[in-house]
Amino acid sequence: MTAAALLLATLPICAFASSVAHVLNVPYYVPSKVELAHEFKVQEALPVTVLTSQEAVITASWINSTVSDFLVQDDVYTKGFFYAFYFQGPEGLTLAGDADSLLKTFGTSRVFWASSQHNATLPDGPYFATSSGLHRAWRLYDDYTNAFVLPTIPSANDINTYEVLPASGGDLYGAMQVAVPSRLFYRPTAEQPLAGYRIGVKDQYDIKGLITTFGSRSYAATYPPSNVTSGVIQHLLDQGAVVVGKTKLSVFANAWFSIAEWPDYSLPFNPRGESYLIPGASSAGSGASLAAYDWLDITIGEDTGGSMRFPAAQNGVYGIRSTKNSTNNTATVFGPFDVAGHFARDVDSFNTFGAVMYGQSGYKNYTKFPAKILYPREYWANINPNYTAPCEEYVQNLEAFLGVNRTIVDSNALWHEYSGSNVSLADYFANLIPYVSGTYNFSLNFKKDYFAKFGRYPYSTLNAASDPSFTPQNASLGEIGHALQSEFQTFYRRYFLSANEETCSDAIVVFPFNGNGGIPWYRDSNISYTVAGSAPALPGYISWNYLSVMNESPEVAVPVGTVQYHSRVSLVEEEFPATVEIQGAVGCDFMLMNLVRAVAYEQGLRKGVRTGSRMY
């Protein structure tokens, strides 16, 4: 082992181009950004552990304890960074004899000392030393679920501007790699409670410096990289989160589920079971990636008619459709029913992250819970009993926790009582969503922009084909749609989700997720759930996934168990997730997340799910 004093370079330091290095066969991204400029006498990027001592004499026990903690806390840090150490601390810093011996057993080849001329103190953790200085280490992971469309890193000059990761370590799956920063560089504070959270963001949200594909190659080709970040994403960045990539979505966030319905960017793989079940529709990339990767903490999605709740349920993670306008939606392409949401793997991060993400909403953080559970019988019908079994068990735990029995209701019966009409809910409100959505100009504007740039019309799944005469619905139909929505909200908020000063919502509404009747739904299916033979609601009832949409209220998807099935792909017994949906009144987002966490802890339920093929 050689010791080298590290001095400030007296000659100009050559710029370092970002590169890929391998440490113990693990690929790392070495960014061009220099954290501390020095002229290391090295020929290639060398792995270095930076340690800060408070004592003048560095002991073996302190080194061993510190790096042992690093190995437990951080997946980026490995024993490969024992190759060299960079020590910073008080003037006259030295190694005790036992420390020198310990480094020899580590196989350490170089020791560097911070010069007294240095004013900056680096955060402890894994770095790479080059002839330009010290660079933070980013570990590269394979995106084997094919869930990301762009791996990203913060710009070297502006942490609020992002760029596409300009490197790859060569993966085994024919897909891209994603770079993640060391967890050791971040410490949550009151000002930045999300410091170091690694998040994936649905590629519907603009991020400064990056293109937005919206699931469409035509859309990606039409517009330049964004010069502004979506308000909700900027809020998360300001709170310390780090975007490691943009995740895939179906074309223009449509409700397309199968391989054939994803023409531009291929459908991600659902990691559960044999990995050939559908991963959800428009937020599929965010749902699948979080269920697959331990190195990812939270993912961001969006919900129009189920785009948070379907991927949450099908990939077996927690998810929320938030209250309408509960986030800052500036610089975000949102339609009239679109809301932001997040996915999590455990009740604690679901709650903690949500408290920050929706913290600007002004909603009260209720810790008292409703004393009424509404159980709409129509949404428990025609579902595989093996699927509803764990859902029923969860409802029983809700009853025990809240100290009440469920109240069985029928939404059509209540509607007839309210309206005095024999017309069903589904028939009466059939035009609500198409009439409100028909006033949305996104499709027309995009097609005009594409034609202006390329002289032809794009591939499109939006409302009309490549018809230059396509125009939105007229204003009078939009007024009818909004009037219908107002009428629905009056009914639903009176009979189901009225406000309560103490518990936010007078009741919660619970029912099982129903995407395909509680049976396996394979990715090579050529039909979507609406014609799959297992309708999402009984005839005459509004489909379960549109209730909170029309009411503009929050709904959480809670993984509650698994269902065994004999896979036609693997030809063995596999498992897929079972999920319960819970609705609350407008503005009760925090109450619902608090409830999910409290029930898990008080009833001794599972607090989260694992990544991979099996949830537990």
Q: For the chain, give the mean pLDDT.
A: 92
β-pair type (110-113, 84-88): parallel
Cα 251 to Cα 359: distance, rounded to the nearest angstrom: 30
Look at residue 12 in the predicted model and tell me its pLDDT.
35
Strand partners, 509: 374, 583
8 pLDDT more than 80? no
Look at residue 110 in the predicted model and tell me its pLDDT.
95
37 pLDDT more than 70? yes
The per-residue DSSP string of 339-383 comes to EEEEEESBHHHHHHHHHHHTGGG------S--S-EEEEGGGGSSS
Cα 576 to Cα 521: distance, rounded to the nearest angstrom: 10
Q: Which helix (H) or strand (E) holds 27?
A: strand 26-30
* pLDDT tens readout for residues 106-162: 999 999 999 766 556 899 999 999 999 999 999 999 999 999 999 999 999 999 999
β-pair type (46-52, 162-164): unpaired
Cα 202 to Cα 113: distance, rounded to the nearest angstrom: 43
Give residue for tokens 């739904």. 521
Token code pair at residue 578: 């079972």
Q: What is the CATH T-level fold of the domain 144-359, as seen in this structure?
A: Amidase signature (AS) enzymes (3.90.1300)
Look at residue 36 in the predicted model and tell me its pLDDT.
93
Look at residue 440 in the predicted model and tell me its pLDDT.
63
Higher per-residue pLDDT: 15 or 146 = 146
64 pLDDT more than 70? yes
91 pLDDT more than 90? no
Query: Quick one: pLDDT band at residue 256, thresholds 50, 70, 90?
Result: confident
164 pLDDT more than 60? yes
Measured CA distances, 540 to 388, 423, 613 (Å): 22, 9, 37
Query: Quick one: pLDDT band at residue 173, thresholds 50, 70, 90?
Result: low
* Chain CA centroid to CA 472, Å: 32
* pLDDT tens readout for residues 189-224: 999 999 999 999 999 999 999 999 999 999 999 999
* pLDDT tens readout for residues 420-479: 999 999 999 999 998 998 656 788 889 899 999 999 999 876 544 444 444 555 668 889
Look at residue 536 in the predicted model and tell me its pLDDT.
53
Higher per-residue pLDDT: 167 or 316 = 316
533 pLDDT more than 90? no
Dihedral angle of Cα 35, 36, 42, 46, to the nearest 10 degrees: -40
Look at residue 281 in the predicted model and tell me its pLDDT.
87
Long-range interactions of 464-473: CB distance < 8 A, separation 24+? 470/443, 470/444, 471/444, 472/438, 472/439, 472/440, 472/441, 472/444, 473/434, 473/435, 473/438, 473/439
Mapping DSSP onto H, E and C, the string for 142-186 reads ECCCCCEEEEEEECCCCCCCEEECCCCCCCCCCCCEEEEECHHHC
Q: Return the SS3 of 408.
A: strand
Look at residue 600 in the predicted model and tell me its pLDDT.
99
- DSSP count for the chain of H helices, then E strands: 15, 27
Range list of β-strands (E), 543-594: 555-566, 573-583
Q: Return the SS3 of 505.
A: strand
Mean pLDDT of 27-51: 94
- Domains of the chain, residue spans: 19-136, 144-359, 373-603
Number of C-beta neighbours around residue 189 at 10 A: 10
Token code pair at residue 173: 């799956």
495 pLDDT more than 50? yes
Look at residue 171 in the predicted model and tell me its pLDDT.
60
Cα 563 to Cα 345: distance, rounded to the nearest angstrom: 18
Measured CA distances, 499 to 198, 285, 460, 547, 586 (Å): 35, 34, 41, 16, 8
Q: Which amino acid is at 180?
A: V
Give residue for tokens 């019309």. 457
* pLDDT tens readout for residues 540-595: 999 999 999 999 999 999 999 999 999 999 999 999 999 999 999 999 999 999 99
Q: Using alpha carbons, select from 14, 6, 48, 10 the residue that is nearest to residue 32.
A: 14
Burial zone of 293 (CB within 10 Å; 0-12 exposed, 13-18 middle, 19+ buried): buried
State pTM to two decimals: 0.94
Look at residue 255 in the predicted model and tell me its pLDDT.
84
Mean pLDDT of 495-499: 98
535 pLDDT more than 50? no
Contact 562, 578 (CB under 8 A): yes
530 pLDDT more than 50? no
Q: Using alpha carbons, select from 123, 117, 51, 36 the residue that is nearest to residue 84.
A: 51
Measured CA distances, 479 to 283, 432, 435 (Å): 30, 10, 8
Number of C-beta neighbours around residue 2 at 10 A: 8
Q: What percent of the chain has pLDDT over 70?
A: 91
Contact 568, 558 (CB under 8 A): no
Q: Angle at CA 382, nearest 5°, toward 376 and 385? A: 95
